[in-house]
Each structure stands twice: as structure tokens, then as C-alpha cells.
Amino acid sequence: MKTAEEQHLIVDTINVKSKYLQRDAELRLYVPQKISDPAAMSLLLINDGQDMPVMQLERILGNLYAQGAIAPVLCVAITAGTERKQEYGVAGKKDYLGRGAKAGEYTKFILNELLPFIKKTYNVPVFKETAFAGFSLGGLSALDIVWNHPGIFSKVGVFSGSLWWRSIDQSDNKYDDNKHRIMQQQIRKGKYAPGLKFFFECGRMDESGDRNNNGIIDSIDDTLDHIKELRDKGYNPEDIFYLELEDGKHDVPTWGLAMPVFLKWGWGNKM
């Protein structure tokens, strides 16, 4: 007897040559089956695709499809390269240690190489919608790409995002949360784009740091501050979903617990 995964999914592994990254990018594709109309299928890109077997994404998707809980979503998990801390980040703005220097090239890879490759390979000229998700630094990368390309993406999932990403060291006397968190400043200076939706997850055990000594760990503070920037920009409560896990840690098992919530938030079928 076939498992739920085998009944509803095919998992492919493909390598894509990238001139922008100057390396092969390994993809793990979770392809929903029994699709009568490919144009009704959505696309979800996922950073740090090497973690998906540990997360058991195949099982998560298979179970959700078996329950009829979500609409069809082609999930493309992108394995991180050896220069992960350079390719992920905020395009056009390195952090205070010079990390994220290749984030612009990674964005070009996504837009100019990966998306056309997926559309051609699966013969879907236009997906119903396109989303991006990531974890930790990969979450920051996903948010940066979606924020700057709202004409392409409609949703983003940020799990334990590295939203602390800053332009100067926090030990510097000049450091100010409201001036030196790079993604926060980008949102503040950016424009409202109708239709964008945001999912944020944090665990109360994500870390122990509390740089402003307010009794709330930094990862939660940073996430809530970015949500405030989005609200100030014009996004409504229904545009932003925040999940805080009491026992959540900065690890793949925690993100695996949050993944079904994200998938049902983004593509849930009304029962």
C-alpha cells in the first residue's frame, strides 16, 4: 500500500547550473500529483533545502494533501552553497562583518535562472501565485527578495528570521536598533505593495540574548519590530500572521512544527 506521501507527491532532485552563483544549485522538488490544471498550482521556494529531509517535509505535505487541507503547491527547496553567509542576506547592503556580499547575485539567480527553469521544466508559464520561505538567515533572504519584488511574489514565510542583521556591531556605542537593523530600514524606506502577505515564526527558546534588557529575547523583539514597520507601512492584521512557539528553539524540528501552520495559512482549503 502506498503511503500518503507516495499517493500525493513525487520528489525529484535536480541540479541547475548558475552563472550568477558560479556553481551548481541542487534543488529538491516536491511535486503534487493529480493536478487537473497546472495553472491552479502555486509555487513555494524554500531556502536551506538541505534541511528538508530532517524536517520531513515530504511527510508533512503528504499528510496535508491526504487530509485535503491544502491546495496544490509545488515546493522547490534550494540547497545552500558553501558561501551561505554571503549568498543569503540583504541584496545591496552587507552587514557589519561584510556578510551578504553575494545576496544580490543570489537574487538574480532566483529571478533570472531558477524561476524560468521551473516554469519551463514543469510547463507552467504562470503559477497561481509564487511565495518564498526560509529559516534563520535564509528567512531574512526570503523576506528581502519578496519585499523587493512584489510583482513576482505574494507571500513570504520567515521562520526564526535573522532580522537582527545590522550595519554596525551592537557593541558599538553608536548602535541603535531603530537605525542599524538593515531589513527594518529597508521596509521603513520602502513602499506599500498591495497583496503582499507575511508569516513570521519565533520560538521563545530561539536564543538567550536580550540586548535591551526588556525581558524579551532579541529574536522576538526583532520580529515584532519588523511587524510594526509593516503595520506602519499600511499592512493590516489579516496581511500578517505571527506564530510564537513556547518551547520553540532555533532548530529544524521547531521549524517542522511550524511548517504545517504556514502551509495551511498560505494555501489552506476551507473545510
* 107: region left, alpha or beta (phi > 0 left; psi from -120 to 50 alpha): alpha
Sign, CA torsion 141/146/152/157: positive
Q: What is the pLDDT of residue 62?
A: 95
- Tell me what pLDDT residue 271 has: 44
Domain 4-267 has CATH 3.40.50.1820: yes
Among the listed residues 128, 107, 80, 75, the one whose alpha carbon sits nearest the alpha carbon of residue 262: 75
3-class DSSP state for residue 135?
strand
Question: CB–CB of 254/51 below 8 Å?
Answer: no
10-residue stretch averages of pLDDT, the chain, 271 residues long? 66 96 97 83 97 97 95 97 97 96 98 97 93 98 98 98 96 92 96 97 93 90 97 97 97 98 93 44
* Distances in whole angstroms, Cα of residue 236 to Cα of each of 77, 195, 230, 250: 29, 11, 8, 28
Beta strands in 170-239 (DSSP E): 197-205
* Nearest of 10, 133, 31 to residue 73 by alpha carbon: 31
Q: What is the pLDDT, as a whole number, of residue 184?
A: 97
- pTM for the whole thing? 0.95
Are 10 and 33 in contact, with CB atoms under 8 Å apart?
A: yes
Sequence-distant (6+) residues with CB within 8 A of 97 are none
CA distances 241 to 144, 178, 188, 244, 247, Å, are 17, 22, 19, 10, 19
Domain-by-domain residue ranges, the chain?
A: 4-267
Distance (Å, whole) CA 243 – CA 248: 10
Predicted pLDDT of residue 58: 97
CB atoms within 10 A of CB 11: 18
Residue length, the chain? 271
- Model pLDDT, residue 37: 81
CA-closest candidate to residue 221, choices 146, 147, 170, 167: 170
